[in-house]
Each structure stands twice: as structure tokens, then as C-alpha cells.
Chain A
Amino acid sequence: MPATDEPSRSDDALAVPALFLGGSALFVGASLRAMGRCVGLLAQRSATLAQLARESMTDDEAAATARRVLRDELLGLMREAGEIASQESRAGVDDFDTMTREWMPGPDEPADRRQQRVKS
């Protein structure tokens, strides 16, 4: 008779679909969070950007300064959007790691810490 704490064959069969389902849910969640934050960022900056764009298109002396500030603001917006995507993606990876840790612990790995992933 098999030991009671060993996973049954049916548990093993369910683990793989659950991995895919859990991973997909986390991926979708991270993407939605990133998208929501990027939209929020754009909404927050849009008034300033529109104002700078208007000032950049005038003929007075302030237009040159406004163009430089606009360039900085646009570059900053793109950088921050990239950082948000990276942050949410890393958070998603951490969540997936935490979620799956108890499913497949290594032989000597403590369950509460991620192992180094170093190629030797």
C-alpha cells in the first residue's frame, strides 16, 4: 500500500494544467496592472504634454525652451512606462515563483527561499 503523504497519479496529472492556468492568470493580471498604470500615467501627464506642445508651436522665444522640456517629458514618459511594465512583470514572476514553490521543491532547497540561478 502506498504511503499516504505521497502525491497520487491523479494529483500529478492535475499539476501541469494548474501550472499553465495559474501562470496564465498571473501573466494576464500583471499585463492588466501594467496597462492600467500606464494609462493612469498618461492621463496624469497629458495636460502638461498638451500645454508644452502648444507652447512649442508658437513663434515666441519661449517655444525653444518648451520644445526641450517637451522632449524630456516624452522621453521620461516612455522610460516610466517601460519601468512600470518591467516592475509588474517582475512582480508577476515573483508571484508565480511563490505560487509554485510548494508544488516542486528541490531536494535540498528550503521552501521559503528562491535558489540562485547561476550558470556555472
Chain B
Amino acid sequence: MSTAEEVIVRLGAEPDVARLRTRLDSWVDQVDPELREPLCWAFKGTQKHFRPLTIFGCWRATHAEPVPDSTIELAVVVELMHNMSLIIDDILDESDERRGIATLHTRFGTLPALMSSGYLVADGFDLVAEDPFAVRHLAELLRRLGSAECLQWRLRRLPLGVEDWRRIAGEDTGSMFEVCAVLGARSQGLRQFGHLLGVLYHGCDDVGDQRGLEALGGGGEEDIRDGILTLPAALAIRDPAVCELYCRDDDDSERLAAFAAACRDQLEEAERVLDGIADAAREEAERFAEDPEPLLALIGHVRELSRR
């Protein structure tokens, strides 16, 4: 059993995820034949379904009834939107691989990749056209994701700090999980919980990526190469000498290696920051959810991501 499947089992969400997968399969079967192959490809590979798990967790935290079909449909739409954002990310980052297979633009070319991403958004809105609550929040999500991508790019290689990282993480991953929490709970009550879960996810991913680099013996990877403000980077550049390394824009491998090493030195401090965010998310869950258990399980799972 893969790690993703283990998490689904541990969260007790196998029946809901099975319904989600069945619905995603039926969606793929009815897409336009011209784009069917790339759209099938977009959903290949091992998917964690963590955003749908957040929707289901927030439903269970606020409702006594089982997850209804309408919430499964919302989870499908969030997966469509998420995969759209991955296609765009891969084009911008010039990534060759995702989930262990070639990225969509590498396999099919940039035009089909861009058109597939547009198709995902259009069909996503079509699926929830009768649900104004969902339409409004999905529109909010796409606006915020677009702005966050530009903000993150604009703020790279600048001498900023942890709070600036929190702002970027909050608008990027935070907005996605906020909307999942709102759609799952069908109210605004868990919005801040979703925000904190998203920031935690973003930070754990930053630290996990850095630990991956460490396991591979260090080196410059995409975020380091592009001067993206990750959590370890935000902590490392408090030192003016490291900040100077970070702010330079060149491909000098020695500089990149020295900066990567400085980031690795901050992993323990980064874990402490993440513990603080996890504590704040737990407090939100305990104060604002009728049954906080599903939410506490989500936090526990996300928190483990940095230690992978």
C-alpha cells in the first residue's frame, strides 16, 4: 500500500475516496475526444487527494450525516482546479516530470497542455453551475491562486523574512485549503482552520523538499535555482552573508550549493515554526468544529510530511 493510500485508510476516508475516483473516471470518459488523452494523462500517477480529504474532513467535522453526493461533486471540481494549477506550474517551472511520469506539456506539447488547463476550469464551473455557494468560492480560489503565483515570482531573491513567507504560503496553498474547508463545512466556520492547514502543508512541503535534497547529498533544485522564498530560505537569509548568496541571480553552482547548505542548517528552526502553525490549526479545530477529530487527524498527517 502506498503512503497516499495509507493516509486515506488512516483518515477513514476509503469509501468517500472510492466514490471520488469513480466520479473522476466517469468525468474523464465524457470529455471531448480531442483532449481526452491529455486530460487522462493529467490524472495519471499516484494522487494524494489531500484537498478532497480536507473537504471530507470538514464535512464530517460539522455534519453528523455521511458525505453526500453533492460534496463528492465539489471534491471532483477541486481536483480539476488543482490539476489545472499543476499543469500551469509545470509549464512555468519547465518541469519534465510529475508523479513519476512526464508532465503534460512534455508529453503532448504546450498548446494541448494550456488548452487542457482551460478545459478543466470550464468543466469545473459547469459541474457546480447550480450551486452559487461553490461558484463564488471557486472563483475566489482562482483569483487568489493567480495573484499568489505572481506575488511569489515578484518577491523572489528579495531580502524578506518568515512573515513574508507566511503571506505567500497563505495566498498560494492557504487559499486552496481555505476554500476546501469552506466547501466541506458549507459555511465560513472552518475557513481559518483551512488557511492554517494550507500554510502548514506549504511549509512541510518546503522542509520535506529540503530534506530530500539533503538525502540526495545537497545541490541546487528548482526553488533554490529560482530564488523562491521557502521556509528554510526565509530563516537562512536572516544572516546577511546568506542573504547576499540568496539575492544574487546567476547559475554559479558553488553559490547555489552554499545557499542550499545554509537552508539545511535551518531545518530544526523550520520544524519549530511548523509546530507553532500546527498548534494554531489545532486550536481553530477545537474551538470551531462540532467534532474536531477528523481535522486533528488531517493536521497530524500534514505535520508528518516534513519528516518524510
Interface residues of A, Cβ cutoff 8 Å to B: 61, 64-65, 68-69, 71-72, 75-76, 79, 83, 86-87, 90-91, 94, 114, 116, 118-120
Task: Indicate if the CB atoms of A79 and B288 lie closer than 8 Å.
Answer: no
Task: Indicate if the CB atoms of B238 and A87 lie closer than 8 Å.
Answer: no
Task: Indicate if the CB atoms of A94 and B238 lie closer than 8 Å.
Answer: no
Of residues 159 to 210 in B, which have CB atoms within 8 Å of A's CB atoms? 159, 161-163, 166, 186-187, 189, 192
For residue B132, CB closer than 8 A to chain A, the reply is yes
A109 to chain B, nearest CB (A): 14
Which secondary structure characterizes the binding site on chain B?
Answer: helix
Set of chain B residues within 8 Å of A114, measured between Cβ atoms: 187
A8 to chain B, nearest CB (A): 34
Of residues 251 to 300 in B, which have CB atoms within 8 Å of A's CB atoms? 280, 284, 287-288
Which secondary structure characterizes the binding site on chain A?
Answer: helix
Set of chain A residues within 8 Å of B280, measured between Cβ atoms: 83
B115 to chain A, nearest CB (A): 32
Task: Specify the chain B residue showing the minimal Cβ separation from A74.
Answer: B163
Set of chain A residues within 8 Å of B239, measured between Cβ atoms: 65
Set of chain A residues within 8 Å of B284, measured between Cβ atoms: 87
For residue B108, CB closer than 8 A to chain A, the reply is no
Task: Indicate if the CB atoms of A72 and B161 lie closer than 8 Å.
Answer: yes
**24 A-B pairs, CB-CB below 8 angstroms?**
A61-B240, A65-B240, A68-B159, A68-B161, A68-B238, A69-B238, A71-B163, A72-B163, A72-B238, A75-B163, A76-B162, A76-B163, A79-B163, A87-B287, A90-B189, A90-B288, A91-B287, A94-B189, A114-B187, A116-B186, A118-B132, A118-B133, A119-B132, A120-B132
Distance of A64 Cα from B239 Cα, bound (Å): 8
A36 to chain B, nearest CB (A): 16
Distance of A72 Cα from B192 Cα, bound (Å): 21
- Which residue from B166, B192, B287 sits with its C-beta under 8 Å from A79? B166
Distance of A91 Cα from B189 Cα, bound (Å): 10
Q: How many residues of chain B have a CB within 8 Å of chain A? A: 21
Distance of A114 Cα from B287 Cα, bound (Å): 16
Task: Indicate if the CB atoms of B161 and A75 lie closer than 8 Å.
Answer: yes
Set of chain A residues within 8 Å of B161, measured between Cβ atoms: 68, 71-72, 75
Task: Specify the chain A residue showing the minimal Cβ separation from B62.
Answer: A113
Task: Specify the chain B residue showing the minimal Cβ separation from A78.
Answer: B163
Set of chain B residues within 8 Å of A61, measured between Cβ atoms: 240
A66 to chain B, nearest CB (A): 9
Set of chain B residues within 8 Å of A90, measured between Cβ atoms: 189, 192, 288
Distance of A116 Cα from B182 Cα, bound (Å): 11
Distance of A119 Cα from B132 Cα, bound (Å): 8
A81 to chain B, nearest CB (A): 13
Distance of A118 Cα from B37 Cα, bound (Å): 38
B179 to chain A, nearest CB (A): 14
Distance of A79 Cα from B165 Cα, bound (Å): 13
Set of chain A residues within 8 Å of B162, measured between Cβ atoms: 72, 76
Set of chain B residues within 8 Å of A76, measured between Cβ atoms: 162-163
Distance of A76 Cα from B166 Cα, bound (Å): 10
Set of chain A residues within 8 Å of B187, measured between Cβ atoms: 114, 116
Set of chain A residues within 8 Å of B132, measured between Cβ atoms: 118-120
Set of chain B residues within 8 Å of A79, measured between Cβ atoms: 163, 166
B5 to chain A, nearest CB (A): 33
Distance of A71 Cα from B238 Cα, bound (Å): 10
